[in-house]
Amino acid sequence: MRLRPSPEVSVAVSPQVSVLSLLVDAVAARRRGLPERWRRRIRESVGAEGQQACRPLGVPGHSVAPDTIVPLPPVADASVESQIAWLLDMRPDALLDDMEQAYGPERVPEHWRWAAERPRRWLNGYASAVSDVWSAIRPLWERAQPLLDLEVERVGTAVVRGALDALLGTLSERIRFADGSLYMSDQEPARYDLGRRRLVLVPMLSGPDATILNLDLPGYVWIAYPLRRADALWLGADPARRAAEELASMLGPARAGLLASLARPTTMGQLATLAGTVPSAITYHCDRLEAAGLICRERRGREVWILRTRRGHEIIDLFSR
């Protein structure tokens, strides 16, 4: 998806999108990295009608689905309960209209045929599945609130500081930002242009490989991605320990360590001592960090001092939130 320079970006928190991701992973069996014990727990929480309704979401080779799977968009700040009520109140022919919008006026794909022939039954079954999964994961969602708050702050800070390119590169391994475009892994790829629309980022409680996109709306597009450090919640560990590992995964362990150690200006000799090596051994890494705009070098008398640039501070800040 092509982005215009300095696009309007916001962040939204939607428990329904997280519920959808977990339904797809655990119930529809499109695995996205959810720990097995949680996959089993979520799958076993969903009744037979709910499991039937979720089957179309896991069919291999297909990713396009009716918008009804998230009946109230993430920007609406709607509760899961209001999403369920909407599904139960929805007219069956509205679901059929939604399918026509998603797939065109021709016959719906085979894997959605059952739902098209029994729209009321599908809506009731899907609402039941959403309710069952929400009951199973609501305590975990509540424990995730501090991480969600940090992610909202991280996105806001990146937007204000003009570090959107760095932010977009950290959303997911399935999302890449380069040359003004977002590249997102999808089973049914297509080209899009953000145009004047707003980009809404939606962190979700999910497996690490999950992404959910809606790029067709007129006023905005939304992209849901795994909440940073949520794996610690699934596994019951401390999420803060992930920060250094995530920075190292982007820069490499050596350069990440050097950048992290530059909280204040440091000479090459001091930096080498901190790294446990000699100055000549870190010159290459400093060259690469400088080329990326993360550090700069200043000669002061006989010594060369290394300083983090503003961009370098922003990168550290993004990964420490």
CA-nearest of 6, 5, 1, 10 to 199 is 10
Q: For residue 242, what pLDDT band results from cuts at 50, 70 and 90?
A: low
Whether the pLDDT of residue 108 is over 90: the answer is no
Residue 241 has what pLDDT? Answer: 53
Q: For residue 321, what pLDDT band results from cuts at 50, 70 and 90?
A: low
Section 69-74 average pLDDT? 87
Question: Alpha-carbon distance 160 to 276, whole Å?
Answer: 37
CA-nearest of 11, 15, 296 to 164 is 11
Whether the pLDDT of residue 27 is over 90: the answer is yes
Which domains, ranges and CATH numbers included, belong to the chain? Answer: 9-237 (no CATH), 240-320 (1.10.10.10)
CA-nearest of 206, 202, 205 to 223 is 202
Question: Alpha-carbon distance 77 to 34, whole Å?
Answer: 25
**Among the ranges given (67-76, 140-149, 270-279, 285-294), the one the predictor scored with the smallest mean pLDDT:** 270-279
For 118-135, what is each residue's pLDDT tens digit?
999 999 999 999 999 999
Residue 11 has what pLDDT? Answer: 93
301 Cβ contact list (under 8 Å, min separation 6): none
Section 301-316 average pLDDT? 87
Higher-confidence position of 165 and 52 = 52
Question: Alpha-carbon distance 159 to 11, whole Å?
Answer: 10
For residue 95, which amino acid is it?
Answer: L
Q: For residue 243, what pLDDT band results from cuts at 50, 70 and 90?
A: low
The pTM score is 0.72
DSSP bridge pairs for 201: 11, 223
Q: Round the CA-based radius of gyration of the chain to a whole number and report it.
A: 23
Question: Alpha-carbon distance 291 to 294, whole Å?
Answer: 8
For 88-101, what is each residue's pLDDT tens digit?
999 999 999 999 98
Whether the pLDDT of residue 298 is over 80: the answer is yes
Question: Alpha-carbon distance 202 to 227, whole Å?
Answer: 9
Residue 139 CA to chain centroid, in angstroms? 21
CA-nearest of 17, 108, 119, 107 to 59 is 108
Section 207-211 average pLDDT? 92
Residue 320 has what pLDDT? Answer: 64
Residue tagged 């050596």 (tokens): 254
For 246-274, what is each residue's pLDDT tens digit?
778 778 888 888 888 888 888 888 888 87
Residue tagged 């999808």 (tokens): 186
Q: For residue 138, what pLDDT band results from cuts at 50, 70 and 90?
A: very high
Section 64-80 average pLDDT? 87
